[in-house]
Structure 1
Amino acid sequence: MEPKTTHADTEINTGGNSLHVLVGVDDSTESRDAMAAAYELFGGDSRYTIITVHQSPPLVVGMMGAGTTVAGMHHRLDESILEHVAESAVSGIRDVAPDDADLTFRTEVGHAGSAICEIATEEQADVIVIGSRDRGFLDRVFTPSVAKHLVDHAPCPVLVVR
């Protein structure tokens, strides 16, 4: 039997095969909605990799005081921020995912769209699920959309939950 897609209120028939679902999250309501939709659509037989990406600010390399570089400070800052960002996102996802869900959590640093595409390729994900938030005109102009990047570059289908 061929896999089929249906409306969001019905689980997707995968022909008995377990899917590997990659869910890109942050600490937003939209991310929790994306996880809930992913589980509703792809069910409890699927494996879920939950990825949080901390998007680093551009590096400025220069000297500060007695030989401390901004780049070096940036590296140490990422490690402490990374832990906080990941925990905030993960706690929201654990609230919406069933206790018996097969969840693996990953945290990366970099451009969110590129990192998610790389992980999807590395882990051979069958589908990527992300939430989308309404953004104002200036935000869309000056901040690239992760959803748009994924739709254009992902190695597998992308489901954007609104």
Structure 2
Amino acid sequence: MFKSILVAVDGSEIGHRALEEALAVARVMDASVHAIHVVQTGTYPTLILSELEPPDIAQQALLDALDREANEFLADAEREAAAAGIRMTVYKRWGHPGAEITALAQELGADLTVVGSHGRGRLDRFFLGSVSSYVVDHATSTVMVVRG
């Protein structure tokens, strides 16, 4: 039986399906649900910033846009959970998505981690599920991979 579920949301159709599956399992099992969105900083060369030097205007604009997008994805997930009668806690992280997802799952003691099989961008499609593969390989609990 699952008591704590972590679902990764990324704004993609498959990410939305993962959210729907996580909410369905939560309803049946009366589990708590947590959603995470990770801004994948490693794929944006302009985001490799020195800690000693502030980002330039273009870099800051990109960071701000990614932050707003992350907030929108998480707000959408909260609304969908609320419509299903499920309270959700949301988390926004920056870094490697697989590493951040597995770290949060461990921090929360999640029994189940739900991820989509592919991400939302062309680069993610090229890697064919590198984040979900990472989560499957590194998670300490059960992982559900939702396919498209």
TM-score grouping bracket, smaller chain normalisation = 0.7 to 0.9
Percent of matched pairs sharing the same residue: 28
Measure the CA separation in 2 of the matches of 1:86 and 1:116.
14
Q: What does residue 22 of structure 1 align with?
A: 6
TM-score norm. by structure 2 comes to 0.76
Measure the CA separation in 2 of the matches of 1:33 and 1:95.
15
Written as runs of structure 1 = structure 2, the 5 A alignment for 1:1-162 is 14=1, 19-43=3-27, 45-56=30-41, 57-58=44-45, 59=48, 61=50, 69=53, 72-73=54-55, 76=60, 80-94=64-78, 96-99=80-83, 100-133=85-118, 139-140=126-127, 145-162=130-147
- Structure 2 residue ranges without an equivalent (≥5): none
- Structure 1 residue ranges without an equivalent (≥5): 1-13, 62-67
| CA RMSD in angstroms, aligned pairs only | 3.1
Q: Are the aligned partners of 2:36 and 2:91 in contact in 1 as well (CA < 8 Å)?
A: yes
TM-score norm. by structure 1 comes to 0.70
Q: Which has the higher helix share?
A: 2
Q: How many positions carry a matched residue from both structures?
A: 137
- Which gives a bigger RCO, structure 1 or 2 (Cα 8 Å, sep 6+)? 2
CA shift at 1:60, angstroms?
5.2
Q: Are the aligned partners of 2:8 and 2:15 in contact in 1 as well (CA < 8 Å)?
A: yes
